[in-house]
Structure 1
Amino acid sequence: MLPTVAIIGRPNVGKSTLFNRLVGKKLALVDDMPGVTRDRREGEGRLYDLEFKVIDTAGYEDEDPQSLPGRMRMQTERAVAEAQVALFLIDGRAGVNPLDEEIARWLRSSATPVVLVVNKAEGKQANDGIMESYALGFGEPIAISGEHGEGMADLFQALLPHIDGGKFEPADIDAPDAILKLAIVGRPNAGKSTLINKLLGENRLITGPEAGITRDSIAVDWIWRDPDPKMPEPDEEGNVAEPMTERRVRLIDTAGMRKRAKVQDKLEKLSVADARHAIDFAEVVVLLLDATKGLEAQDLKIADHVIKEGRALIIAINKWDVAENGSALFQGIRAALNDGLSQLKGVPMIAVSAFTGKGLDQMISAAFDAREAWTRRVSTGVLNRWFEAAIAANPPPAPGGKRIKLRYMTQANNRPPAFVIFGTRVDQLPDSYTRYLLNGIRRDLDFGAVPVRINLRARSNPFAKD
């Protein structure tokens, strides 16, 4: 018996579109007209390595039980009662409406766990809907696009604790000893498979001089023995545990990613798409460069994609054992990265050799440090004390003589860290000031070079006075 996931929501929020994406087929009819789905439809769904039965339900409507909409609602209620978890969909572009609030009240009385999902969240039009959804009382929403497949990695993480049968264990993903999901990406023949074989100490992956040997993204579980473990902090009673020397890593080898214009073969297209999915699944991504070829435009495109997906990035320069004039090469790549990735300066950069093993422990250690920053949360009190000091040191501008008031700040998310700033006339805040705040968050709050996002909201703090 597969675990069951029920998709719930009012009419026309995209339930059938998400159902089709999860089952991998267009089984459910999809149309802009509300109420196309009547009977609940079931299919075998899959999201990465999670397998489950998924139920597409009719739009929940508050009608007489004897009417057709009322009977449809009873089918929906039965589906929720049978499910291990319910996905409560709302339309991010339309925002929260009274029927969404009615469904939320009903779901809160149910014993079935609920994951709040904001659909149609591509672009900026859904930002207000995402913020409004917090008021429904189900915690942090998962922003997705069922039509375009965006946000599926976040949906995977939200479903994971509720579903048995996936090979990825439902552990505390923010715990220091949680398995590190580490993807190795780069252009063809950069040495990705060779590097993983060196870490494993065996020829687990096929390697060779030919470019493009790897096609599928291959995940291998591995134990890293930290040669320089960090001493744990003492507990409240002053006891200190033994330092952690063994740490779990899931290494993900990917196909080489060439320039889009050069990818003509259908199989290679599928391989590159699979590599992009591996980036979505990973927590930290190592972009492997070839020291004999230096940094190329395609490397910057891959790095930019990793950052846009919100993953922590590390640059590893491979084949360092055969590199010429290493110091000049290293500084040249650093300068080119700072120019090409101006949105995220200071990305960790490590010289490695997949042949000799040079720098590999340093690379893995840096990956764990990056994951730690990527998952960090800052308390609202600490955050707003920093926020007040940052504003006092450099007040926002006053375009047209009208001062922009930034009232308070909260961390809305981690993995990657995302913050919301509330104020007035925030639409007039220049990008340079937002960058000032981003750089300060990374520097002062110890987020390092992980992607950090700031959203501005023109909403007043109900406890603050003008």
Structure 2
Amino acid sequence: MSFTLAIVGRPNVGKSTLFNRLVGKRLALVDDQPGVTRDLREGEGRLGDLNFTVIDTAGLEDATDDSLPGRMRRLTERAVDMADVCLFLVDARTGITPTDEIFAEILRKRADHVLLAANKAEGRTGEAGALEAWGLGLGEPIALSAEHGEGLSDLYAALLPLSEGFAAAAERAPEEPELSLPVSEEADEAAPAPTLDKPLQIAVVGRPNAGKSTLINALLGEDRLLTGPEAGITRDAISVTMDWDGVPTRIFDTAGMRKKAKVQEKLEKMSVADGLRAVKFAEVVVVLLDAAIPFESQDLRIADLAEREGRAVVVAVNKWDLEEDKGAKLAQLREAFDRLLPQLRGAPLVTVSARTGRGLDRLRGAVMRAHDVWNRRVPTAQLNRWLGDMVEAHPPPAPGGRRIKLRYMTQAKTRPPHFVVMCSHPDKMQDAYTRYLVNGLRSDFDMPGTPIRLVMRGQGARNPYRGRREKNAGALKKHLDKRRD
């Protein structure tokens, strides 16, 4: 029986460090600056033979208004309500503060199971703070060092009886009926349908304050991610799972990406790097634009990055509810899209409003179509018939008076579609002719927008008669020498 463990505490007590230690990966951003974590991050934790879901939360702030700290606190309180066990982390070096005492009282009222841990307890400097934690009235504190991995055996001993209690309660509870996800009978073998184990991976990227977190909250139907009018709220690349109308999906919310020259702080550099990793792991990248200022230079760089990484791209224009002349604006957007992003010509362009929820059905259709094209495979026989027609309509160049021969073509892989053309003199093939073939593939095989890789490769066939004369001459000389002896 798996259970949920929420790590809570003041800012900068080491919650994200302990989270990374329990999941065995550096998923959460860690920095000496307090208040790095703002959203809830979930991961699969493991401690000995215990497997559980661990939640990293924002630092508890003594604020209850609609300010950013107040919204962060409400999100953390939500994690406390949904978790089976709360691990209250205090700083053993700093000691117990009045804020710790306030939150200890809150946890006693809201949480069913609370464990107290004193982090940074390595060495003599942390001993006094660990002893002082007894005064919070939450039982014996567990002395930990998340950075050095000390005290995890004591944490295991405290979690073990709780996990056994959850397992016993699960056995007594009535079984829930299994939810069957629809499976298409016409699914292509080259494009396996997303499953619960391997969901569809989507990354939402864009400039700061484009509405990425608000869009994901609208898709989830709940305020799962922290949002607000301030730019740059999201710092980590947070992943959330959902059933998107029958399709198991994991969506990554990323930090807003500004121009490289403007990114000076170490924390922002880490946030952008985390977002770039999310793009590399995604299958479909949704580039979210602000309808008021679409297709700025940074938007173009982000879309070009997704194309160079070989991801399927969907361009979504947010805040569409604020536009008055929607028809003229849409025509302007399509013209700018084709002109500024020719490498993504034909990619889906949809308008949405994350605030009102309008256009989300169009976004889902565009994502599924882009994913299908990204996985498309063309039979070799069909490709070679197409290649013959293309060569006949427009022969390849003849550098130095010698025509380049295109012998045959095949698709090496999908995700994105990758084609190989065997030809003579591939090093002399002009880029313009390669673009001619790529554009033909897009239009003739209905692959708009998706990145297409086309490689020219030489035959490399070995002449079986090469070296025959030297070989025969050597054999004859060896025979004559043997006769002389």
TM-score category (smaller protein):
0.5 to 0.7
The structural deviation recorded for 1:326 is: 2.2
Q: Aligned to 2:324, what secondary structure does the other structure show?
A: coil
Partners of 2:442 and 2:415 in 1: how far apart?
A: 14
Aligned counterpart, 1:413: 413
User: TM-score, length-normalised on structure 1?
Assistant: 0.57
The answer to whether the 8 Å contact 2:345/2:448 transfers is no
Aligned counterpart, 1:205: 225
Partners of 1:407 and 1:295 in 2: how far apart?
A: 41
The answer to whether the 8 Å contact 1:291/1:319 transfers is yes
Partners of 1:448 and 1:298 in 2: how far apart?
A: 23
Gaps of 5+ in 1: 1-43, 53-171, 226-245
Per-residue Cα deviation, 1:306-357 (whole angstroms, up to 9, x for no partner): 0000001111000000023222222222222222222231221001000111
1:175 maps onto 2:192 in alignment: yes
User: TM-score, length-normalised on structure 2?
Assistant: 0.55
Aligned counterpart, 1:264: 264
Partners of 1:198 and 1:461 in 2: how far apart?
A: 57
Partners of 2:332 and 2:260 in 1: how far apart?
A: 26
Q: Aligned to 2:353, what secondary structure does the other structure show?
A: coil
- CA RMSD for the aligned pairs? 2.4
Give the counterpart letter for 2:227 in structure 1: T
The structural deviation recorded for 1:375 is: 1.1
The answer to whether the 8 Å contact 2:190/2:376 transfers is no
Partners of 1:338 and 1:460 in 2: how far apart?
A: 39
Q: What aligned pairs does 1:9-24 form with structure 2 within 5 A after superposition?
A: none
Identity of aligned residues (%): 53
Q: Aligned to 2:344, what secondary structure does the other structure show?
A: coil
Aligned counterpart, 1:434: 434
The answer to whether the 8 Å contact 1:406/1:426 transfers is no
Aligned counterpart, 1:385: 385
Distance 1:296 1:431, change over 3 A: same
Stretches (4+) displaced over 3 A: 44-52, 460-463
Aligned counterpart, 2:446: 446
Aligned counterpart, 2:236: 216
Aligned counterpart, 1:347: 347
The answer to whether the 8 Å contact 1:422/1:461 transfers is no
Q: Aligned to 2:343, what secondary structure does the other structure show?
A: coil
Distance 1:448 1:311, change over 3 A: same
Aligned counterpart, 1:333: 333
The structural deviation recorded for 1:376 is: 1.4
Q: Aligned to 2:421, what secondary structure does the other structure show?
A: strand
The answer to whether the 8 Å contact 2:417/2:453 transfers is yes
The structural deviation recorded for 1:392 is: 1.6
Aligned counterpart, 1:275: 275
The structural deviation recorded for 1:361 is: 1.2
Give the counterpart letter for 2:365 in structure 1: S
Partners of 1:338 and 1:213 in 2: how far apart?
A: 31
Q: Aligned to 1:376, what secondary structure does the other structure show?
A: coil
Q: Aligned to 1:408, what secondary structure does the other structure show?
A: strand
Gaps of 5+ in 2: 1-22, 28-42, 47-188, 464-485
Q: What aligned pairs does 1:65-464 form with structure 2 within 5 A after superposition?
A: 174-178=191-195, 179-225=199-245, 246-459=246-459
Partners of 1:278 and 1:203 in 2: how far apart?
A: 21
In the comparison of the two structures, how many residue pairs are matched? 281
The answer to whether the 8 Å contact 1:374/1:417 transfers is yes
The structural deviation recorded for 1:185 is: 0.5
Partners of 1:387 and 1:46 in 2: how far apart?
A: 47
Report which stretch shifted further, 191-200 or 444-453. Answer: 444-453
Name the structure with the higher helix share. 2
